[in-house]
Amino acid sequence: MDLSVFQNTPFALLVVNVDSDEDDMRLVVGNATWNGSSFLFAPPDLSPLELPEDVYVRIKEVTPDVQNIFGENVKYFVMMSMGSLPDDNPNGYENTGLKWT
Q: What is the pLDDT of residues 20-67, one digit of tens each?
A: 777 778 899 999 999 999 999 999 888 899 998 999 999 999 999 999
Q: Examine residue 18 and state whether it is found in any structural domain, yes or no.
A: yes
What are the CB-based long-range contacts (under 8 Å, 24+) for 41-44?
41/11, 41/13, 43/13, 43/98
Q: Examine residue 19 and state whether it is found in any structural domain, yes or no.
A: yes
**pLDDT mean across residues, the chain:** 86
Q: Examine residue 68 and state whether it is found in any structural domain, yes or no.
A: yes
What are the angstrom distances between the C-alpha of 65 and each of 28, 29, 34, 72, 101? 19, 18, 27, 12, 26
Q: Examine residue 98 and state whether it is found in any structural domain, yes or no.
A: no
Q: Examine residue 88 and state whether it is found in any structural domain, yes or no.
A: no
